[in-house]
Amino acid sequence: MTRSTARQSVPTSLPVRRPGTALRILATNDLLATFEPLATTYGRTGCIPYLEQLLDRERLDGPVLWLDGGDLSGGAARGLLRDDWPPAFADVPIAAAAAGNHEFDDPGLLPDLGRVLAFPVLCADRGTELPPSTLLSTPAGGVGVIGISHPSSELLGHAPERRSDWMQAVALEATSLRRAGARWVVALWHNGVTWTATGTRTGRWETETSAVAASFDLILGGHTLTGWSGVLHGVPAGHGHGFAGSVLVVDLPADGAARVHAPHVLRTPAAGSDPTPGTGPRALLQEQLRRWQGTTIGHLRETLTMRPGEANDLGDFIARAWLDRVADADAAIVPACELWTQPPIDGTVAALLAGDISELDLRRLFPFDDTLVLIELGAGRWERLLAAHDRMTDFANTEGDAVWWNWARGRAGIAQESDSPRRLVTSRFAARLLDGAGAELRTHPSDVHASAPVAEVLQR
C-alpha cells in the first residue's frame, strides 16, 4: 500500500531538536481512526496522514520513532471499522502501539493484528494474544517498548481481567529488554491525568504507576483526551490530545533523562489541505467520511458545547430532544462522559457547530450503537440520582478519579417537565452509569437510537 500524503506542506514545524538528541519520539494516543481532519470549536484537527508527513520531515533531521498509546480505532469511524479496522491502519508507519480499551471492542480481531499491521500492538498486563513488549532497532540504539492497557478495559470493552501479577510481569519485561540490548525502555500506558477545562490532577495515574515507574526511562500515556507533560515518580511522562489534536515530542539524549516537550497542537488549514485518499480500506474509509460530511441533516443557529467543569449546553439540548421524543418520560439526562467529539484544545470536549449539521457530525456525537431506555424512578429518586452524579463528577471530589467512566468531570445535561420526575429517559450506556451512581433502576428498552431525536430537532 502507498501512504497518503497531504496536498500542501504541513504549515507548522515541530520543536527544534535539542542539542545532544540521539533519538526523537513522536507520541500520539487515542487517534480514533482520524484519517480526515475534523471540524472543531478551535479550527480543524490534524489527522493520520498529516502525522505521516511530520514523521517524514523529522526523518531528515535524524532518527525518529512514532509510538502510540492506544485506542487506534473508534470515534466517528467506529461504525465502519468495528468489524474490520486493522486493514485501514496496515500502512500507517507507527513503530509500536499499546492496546487501549477500544482495541477490545471486538476482541475477535486481536489475533489478526500481527498479520495485518506492520507494527505490534502490545499488552503486558492482561492475558491476550498480543505480545507484551517489543525491541525496536534504531541508529541511536535499541528502544524497548512495553504496552499497558487501561485499568478498566474490561468495563470499557471486552478485555480479559488484568493479571494479578501484572506489575511484576511489567518489571520483568523491562529487565529482559535491557538485557537484550535496549538503550531506553518506554512504557506505552493507556491512562493519563484527571482533568477539567480549568485544571489537571496526576494523583490517580501516579498511584497506578508507582510500583513500576522506576523500570522506565519514559512513560507515554493516553485515554484522557487532553494533553499533558510532566514527571511521574521522577520519570519523564506525558500524553498528547486525542483525535490527532496534538503530538507529544520527546527528545532522548545520548546522556541524561528524556526531554518531553509540551504537546504540540496540530491544525489543518481550512482549504486545500485535505489528505489525498490512500488505497484499499483506507481509501474506502476516507471516502465514506467525506460522504457523511457532505450529507446535511439540518441546521443549528448557534454552537452548542460541553466543557468539563463548565457549561453543558450541548447536553441540555440532547436531553430536551430525548424528552420530547419519548412520550412517557418526564425527564432526561445526558452524563457528561457520554459526549466526546473533539480534542479539548480549548477545553471543549464535544460540540455541534453553528450552521449546517452533517451526518458525520451526528456520528461523531453518537459513535456507538446506542438506543434510548426509559427508567422508572421512585419518589425522590430523581433528586438523589442527580446529587450522586454531581458529587461524583465534581472535580474537587478526588474519590471520583478512580471511577472508570468518570473521565469528563462535568455536570449532566438535563431536561425535566415536573419537579419530581418519575420516568426518566437516557441512553442504554448512561443507564449503566446511573445505576452505579446510587439509583435502583428498572429500565425498559426502546427501539429509538440516541441520535434520532436530535436529527428530528435539527430538521425542524
What is the rounded distance in angstroms from the CA atom of residue 312 to the CA atom of residue 330?
A: 20
* pLDDT value, residue 302: 97
Q: Enumerate the H helices of 131-256 as residue ranges.
A: 153-156, 166-179, 203-209
Measuring CA to CA, which residue among 99, 208, 115 is closest to residue 158? Answer: 99
Distances (CA, A) of 69 to 377, 416, 442: 41, 40, 38
Q: Summarize the confidence of residues 175-199 as an average pLDDT.
A: 95
| Per-residue pLDDT tens over the stretch 336-370 | 889 999 999 999 999 999 999 999 999 999 988 88
157: pLDDT strictly greater than 80? yes
- Average pLDDT of the chain is 91
Least confident of 22-31, 157-166, 292-301, 386-395: 386-395
Least confident of 75-84, 90-99, 283-292: 75-84
| Per-residue pLDDT tens over the stretch 233-281 | 999 999 999 999 999 999 999 999 999 999 999 988 766 667 777 888 8
* pLDDT value, residue 434: 78
Strands 355-358 and 296-300: what pairing? antiparallel
Predicted confidence band of residue 430 (pLDDT cuts 50, 70, 90): confident
| Per-residue pLDDT tens over the stretch 405-415 | 898 888 899 99
Local structure of 238: helix, strand or coil: strand
438: pLDDT strictly greater than 80? no
Sequence length of the chain is 460
Q: Which fold has domain 21-268?
A: Purple Acid Phosphatase; chain A, domain 2 (3.60.21)
Please enumerate in sequence order all residues whose Cβ is within 8 A of that of 376, keeping only pairs 6 or more positions apart, or say none: 422, 423, 441, 442, 443, 444
* pLDDT value, residue 432: 81
Distances (CA, A) of 277 to 2, 269, 437: 10, 17, 45
DSSP strands (E only) in 56-136: 64-68, 96-98, 121-122, 133-136
What is the rounded distance in angstroms from the CA atom of residue 382 to the CA atom of residue 18?
A: 56
Query: What is the reported pTM?
Result: 0.94
* pLDDT value, residue 460: 87
Domain ranges for the chain, please list them. 21-268, 294-458
What cell numbers appear for 283 in the block?
A: 481509501
8: pLDDT strictly greater than 70? no
User: 379 or 240: which carries more pLDDT confidence?
Assistant: 240
State the CATH class of domain 294-458.
Answer: alpha beta
Q: Summarize the confidence of residues 49-70 as an average pLDDT.
A: 95
